[in-house]
Chain A
Amino acid sequence: MTGSLRSALASMVSEGTLIPQEERGRWTGPGWSPELPSAVVAPTREDELAGILGKASEEGWRVLPAGFGSWIRGGGPREVDLVLSTRRMTRILEYEPADLTFTAEAGISLGSLHDITSPHGQWLPLDPPGGSKGSLGATVVLGAAGPLRHHYGTPRDHVLGLTLVAGDGRVLRWGGRVVKNVAGFDLTRLTVGSWGALGIVTSVSARLFPIPESDVTMVFCASEVAELLPAARSMALSPLPLAAVELVDSLALEEHGVPEAALLVRLLGSTPQVEEMASRITNDLQDSGGRTLKLQGDRSRALFQKLEGWEDGAGLVARLSMLPSELGTLLEEAEGLRPLATGWSDPGATMSLSAQVGTGVLRLKISDLPGTAERLDPWIIAFRDLRGRLEEKGGSLVLHSGPSVLMEEVGPWGAPGLERHLLEGLKAEFDPAGILARGRFGLE
């Protein structure tokens, strides 16, 4: 199809939209079919993007929406003829600091956005994996959030409106730029976290927050994560407005080369408020055992910036979630996989984990896993069993990325229940030709 798809596109798009063929290698993932997409396009205008999607629906070209391409493997997409990137749509469409809201095109990076709002003392408090390098659109469409979710929530709580170009090229504007809006059904919320399966988001309006005066992170160290469990639980239940509570199994702080388990409690607010909270939690956790550090300002920020890159280069990333009170179970389940990882190869693959204590989400990464089918068998069995156990207790396992055999055999998400027909009906409404993000939800 490559030749015909490419020439059909070349005749309809403007200069620069079609990315040179030799750059396609950046825009592919393990186990994709075809191995390389036939073309990669990055339009600058919404109408052009809509035209491309309309044509793709007519022709049956299977499209994977993308921002900068750093997350395109996420959720295990498989059949991709065309990658459609928003990376050249980077304009700020509206920014009124006194309203604490903005509207921007989807391809702007979170970092560039921050550069524009921070001089006004404002920020979008999202620190998803990949951090400031990620595009606004991808962050919203993946519903991606990091440690700050503890206090500030996820994109679903910040986005006020967006433009969605549906699979067949219809341009649909949902919500607006006001903070409260209940006109019509909430299709903004439906789109946030839809993983590109409904359409391509081309612009986003969201709410900003004042940048807090003071930024402090309290670090409680121990030799094993399990030792920090009681402290972590007590922070999850603290009545104080903590900004983030993260439990990690191997934190390498510059001052001490050795990685240690650590509980990180980030405090944001006015200086008196933050100081008060710091002293109260230090008091509460004085029996937690290990060393305690207090990182102020830039050092606090830098630590969390580093955590944003936690998933970079991982061979597999999985998210285990349960009710927060089951954090201990999650830790045990994750530890149960460690022997599999260390016994994997020579030298053994490394496994690490990072848990959002307040929301009951534990992320697990494995440095690298060779992709041959037989060697992956034990992993396939282990993840299937694990998903079964978690789902039985009301939790879930999401495989964000990993070797294609594993993604295919285990499936990125668990199976939907009786609501499946609702998901299929919505998918059919927005993407009637079934061309978008195939493989991600098993809904094609």
Chain B
Amino acid sequence: MKALPPNLLEELAAAVGPDWVISDPDRLLVYESDAQTAHNVAPQAVVLPSDTDQASQVARVLHRHQIPLVPRGAGTGLSGGALATRGGVVVGTSRMNKILEVDPSNRRAVVQSGVLNTDLSDATAPHGLHYAPDPSSQAACTIGGNVAENSGGPHCLKYGVTSRYITGLRVVLPDGTTVWLGGQGREAPSFDLVGLFVGSEGCFGLATEVEVALTPLPEAVETLLAIFETLEDAGRAVTSIVSAGLLPAALEIVDRNTIKAVEASIFAAGYPTDAGAALVVEFDGVEAGLAEEAEKAEEFCKAAGAREVRRAESAEERLALWKGRKKAFGTMGRLAPDLLVQDATVPRTRLPEVLASIAEIADRYQLQVANVFHAGDGNLHPNIVFDRRDAEETRRVEAASKEIMGVCVDAGGTITGEHGVGADKQKYMHLVFSPGELEVLRRVKGVFDPDGRCNPGKVVPEDEAPSEAGPNERTEAKS
């Protein structure tokens, strides 16, 4: 990684104001990782534009000097996506946090990409509307990050993931050109560039403004929590609920290890610590008939062996039932210093056997896995707790992760359902793509980013060996 050109920082400061260019190494440490702390690489500088114009000027400056541009939202990503692993400048969206338009008569909103997911839903709630995709990190993550990762959330089972709700994007391309893709009320004159941009993990450009579709808030919600002796029983309950044609809004499972972590924390949710698994089932929509659906689901849970089913009678009770699920990631820190949040998807019917294989792999490598998952979607998070200071244990974690990915792919699934490839999973991309397909992915990136400067070294593994580690890189993200 070469040093930044001498006048670059001044040029960036001319674009955004001197306060919004960060180059002090101590302050850069904040940007050295995302929520997947296995990767640490501080960028060479950080710049924080306040709007599309400034972002475009920043991109032009970086283009002129051929410096990598790495988009970053809130840094809650779980695949090392927002890290300058090949050096360069992080362009953060934290100042682009304005809601530009809420248009209830068309159920849409236009926001700057740094707006937080919950801030958008809070702003639209007075109109009886919300932004449906609800990643568990929604209080912290940005809409731009959600777009880049095509994020999901517990209620995406019924509502669908981010891509369904993005109708238009204003994008600053790596050379500084600004384009509008899509936009409601306009049938694209050609290919679905919005659909292609969603999930591009910052590799195609910086989204500065996002037009989203809003959804009416459901008038009624029914939530139940079922406690099972084993994870398999919980899995069977899910299968019978779905097979019966019920369409829950959410079907979420936490396993024994997760329950223990939650219950030992300050977020204790009252889940029995001797249980094998807990299943949260939620229905929402028109009040008529909703209680009957919840009753049916309750019967299926009991038939699958639930030892107890709790049903929320109030909003507070509902939050309490969800608590153990929502706080799951946060509390796993109690189990060990480090947590590898894994993410993969399998066809729902394959969940039982895949979970059994994961347990077997964990045993074999003497690791502790805590499962939290979007069961209705077959989206697993087999999280591995470990201590990174223990090099030997870390190697076992790597090996076990690789096997887990293999099991999921062999079952007809894929290597990531919502957290993205980033810097973390390039090594698994060949499990799901042929060399020819990987080459197409590279070239599609090249259409947006001919110089290969936009979030370089992410998503698609490079042909050639990864470049040498940079000066302020502590551990190189392997690819």
Which A residues are closer than 8 A to B by beta carbons?
Answer: 96-101, 121, 143, 153, 156-157, 166, 170, 172-174, 176-187, 189-190, 192-194, 197-198, 209-211, 237, 239-241, 269-273, 275-277, 319, 321-326, 360-361, 391, 393-396, 398, 413-419, 422-423, 425-426, 429-430, 441, 443
Q: Contact: B156 with A180, CB < 8 Å?
A: yes
Separation in Å of the A412 CB from the closest CB of chain B? 9
Closest A residue to B286 using CB positions = A273
A contact residues around B108 at 8 Å (CB): 323
B contact residues around A121 at 8 Å (CB): 245
What are 26 A-B residue pairs whose CB atoms fall within 8 Å in the complex?
A: A96-B349, A98-B348, A99-B347, A156-B163, A156-B192, A172-B436, A176-B414, A178-B346, A180-B378, A180-B379, A181-B414, A182-B418, A182-B421, A183-B414, A183-B421, A183-B425, A183-B429, A183-B433, A184-B437, A185-B441, A190-B195, A192-B195, A272-B289, A324-B105, A394-B186, A443-B190
A contact residues around B104 at 8 Å (CB): 237
Q: In whole angstroms, how far apart are the Cα atoms of A241 and B421 in the complex?
A: 35
B198 touches A (CB below 8 Å):
yes
Separation in Å of the B134 CB from the closest CB of chain A? 14
Binary flags per residue of B395-420, CB closer than 8 Å to A gives 1, else 0: 00000000000000000111111111
Q: In whole angstroms, how far apart are the Cα atoms of A209 and B246 in the complex?
A: 10
Closest A residue to B177 using CB positions = A418
Q: Contact: A96 with B347, CB < 8 Å?
A: yes
B contact residues around A241 at 8 Å (CB): 285-286
Which B residues are closer than 8 A to A by beta carbons?
Answer: 103-108, 128, 149-150, 152, 156, 160-161, 163-164, 177-181, 183-193, 195-196, 198-200, 203-204, 216-217, 219, 239, 242-243, 245-247, 285-290, 292-293, 345-349, 374, 377-379, 412-421, 425, 429, 432-434, 436-437, 440-441, 443-448, 459-460
Separation in Å of the B373 CB from the closest CB of chain A? 11
| Given A187-B444, A326-B185, 4 further pairs, Cβ under 8 A | A170-B440, A180-B377, A185-B199, A321-B186
Q: In whole angstroms, how far apart are the Cα atoms of A325 and B106 in the complex?
A: 6
B contact residues around A443 at 8 Å (CB): 190
Q: Which of A173, A239, A416 contacts B219 (CB 8 A)?
A: A239
A contact residues around B219 at 8 Å (CB): 239
Q: Contact: B190 with A181, CB < 8 Å?
A: no
Q: Which of A100, A189, A319 contacts B187 (CB 8 A)?
A: A319
Closest A residue to B290 using CB positions = A273
B contact residues around A324 at 8 Å (CB): 105-107, 185
A contact residues around B103 at 8 Å (CB): 323, 325
Q: Contact: A415 with B432, CB < 8 Å?
A: no
Q: Which of B178, B192, B289, B460 contacts A270 (CB 8 A)?
A: B289
Closest B residue to A96 using CB positions = B349
| B161, B196, B419, B433 — most chain A CB neighbours (10 Å) | B196
Separation in Å of the A121 CB from the closest CB of chain B? 5
Closest B residue to A186 using CB positions = B199
Closest B residue to A175 using CB positions = B414
A185 touching B192 in the complex, CB below 8 Å, given contacts A99-B347, A272-B288, A395-B186: no
Q: In whole angstroms, how far apart are the Cα atoms of A166 and B440 in the complex?
A: 11
Q: Which of A189, A394, A416, A425 contacts B195 (CB 8 A)?
A: A189
Q: Contact: A185 with B196, CB < 8 Å?
A: yes
Q: Contact: A177 with B185, CB < 8 Å?
A: no
A contact residues around B420 at 8 Å (CB): 182
A184 touching B288 in the complex, CB below 8 Å, given contacts A189-B198, A190-B192, A429-B443: no
B contact residues around A193 at 8 Å (CB): 188, 191-192, 195
Q: Contact: B414 with A273, CB < 8 Å?
A: no
Closest A residue to B247 using CB positions = A210
Q: In whole angstroms, how far apart are the Cα atoms of A361 and B374 in the complex?
A: 35
Q: Contact: B285 with A239, CB < 8 Å?
A: no
Q: In whole angstroms, how far apart are the Cα atoms of A275 and B429 in the complex?
A: 49
Q: Contact: A181 with B345, CB < 8 Å?
A: yes
Q: Contact: A270 with B421, CB < 8 Å?
A: no
Closest B residue to A395 using CB positions = B185
Closest A residue to B289 using CB positions = A272
A441 touching B189 in the complex, CB below 8 Å, given contacts A182-B419, A210-B247: yes
B contact residues around A177 at 8 Å (CB): 347, 412
Q: Nearest 4 A-B pairs (CB), nearest first?
A: A189-B195, A210-B245, A272-B289, A425-B447
Q: In whole angstroms, how far apart are the Cα atoms of A321 and B188 in the complex?
A: 11
Q: Contact: A269 with B286, CB < 8 Å?
A: yes
Q: Contact: A183 with B432, CB < 8 Å?
A: yes
Separation in Å of the B412 CB from the closest CB of chain A? 6
Q: Contact: B459 with A185, CB < 8 Å?
A: yes
A contact residues around B441 at 8 Å (CB): 184-185, 187
Closest B residue to A323 using CB positions = B185
Separation in Å of the B155 CB from the closest CB of chain A? 13
Q: In whole angstroms, how far apart are the Cα atoms of A393 and B163 in the complex?
A: 25
Q: In whole angstroms, how far apart are the Cα atoms of A184 and B374 in the complex?
A: 21
Separation in Å of the B75 CB from the closest CB of chain A? 18
A396 touching B189 in the complex, CB below 8 Å, given contacts A179-B378, A419-B181: yes
B contact residues around A430 at 8 Å (CB): 440
Q: In whole angstroms, how far apart are the Cα atoms of A335 and B420 in the complex?
A: 49
Q: Which of A174, A183, A277 contacts B415 (CB 8 A)?
A: A183
A contact residues around B425 at 8 Å (CB): 183
Q: In whole angstroms, how far apart are the Cα atoms of A253 and B255 in the complex?
A: 56
A contact residues around B246 at 8 Å (CB): 210
Closest A residue to B205 using CB positions = A422
| A121, A270, A391, A416 — most chain B CB neighbours (10 Å) | A270
A182 touching B432 in the complex, CB below 8 Å, given contacts A156-B192, A396-B187: no
Closest B residue to A391 using CB positions = B186
Q: Which of A182, A270, A360 contacts B199 (CB 8 A)?
A: A182
Q: Contact: B191 with A170, CB < 8 Å?
A: no
A190 touching B186 in the complex, CB below 8 Å, given contacts A177-B412, A183-B414, A239-B128: no
Q: Contact: A183 with B440, CB < 8 Å?
A: no
Q: In whole angstroms, how far apart are the Cα atoms of A97 and B418 in the complex?
A: 24
B contact residues around A417 at 8 Å (CB): 179-180
Q: Contact: B444 with A426, CB < 8 Å?
A: yes
Q: Contact: A321 with B444, CB < 8 Å?
A: no
A contact residues around B416 at 8 Å (CB): 181-183
Q: Contact: B429 with A98, CB < 8 Å?
A: no
A422 touching B345 in the complex, CB below 8 Å, given contacts A193-B188, A319-B187: no
A182 touching B185 in the complex, CB below 8 Å, given contacts A239-B128, A416-B190, A422-B448: no
Q: Contact: A270 with B293, CB < 8 Å?
A: yes
B contact residues around A360 at 8 Å (CB): 106, 184-185
Separation in Å of the A371 CB from the closest CB of chain B? 25
Q: In whole angstroms, how far apart are the Cα atoms of A269 and B437 in the complex?
A: 41
Q: Contact: A99 with B414, CB < 8 Å?
A: no
B contact residues around A322 at 8 Å (CB): 185
Separation in Å of the B208 CB from the closest CB of chain A? 14
A contact residues around B436 at 8 Å (CB): 170, 172
Q: Contact: A276 with B286, CB < 8 Å?
A: yes
Q: Contact: B163 with A189, CB < 8 Å?
A: yes
Q: Contact: A157 with B345, CB < 8 Å?
A: no
A contact residues around B374 at 8 Å (CB): 180
Q: In whole angstroms, how far apart are the Cα atoms of A100 and B247 in the complex?
A: 11
Q: Contact: B191 with A423, CB < 8 Å?
A: yes
Q: In whole angstroms, how far apart are the Cα atoms of A423 and B192 in the complex?
A: 10
Separation in Å of the B149 CB from the closest CB of chain A? 7
Q: Which of B188, B198, B433 contacts A186 (CB 8 A)?
A: B198
A contact residues around B156 at 8 Å (CB): 180
Q: In whole angstroms, how far apart are the Cα atoms of A395 and B434 in the complex?
A: 40
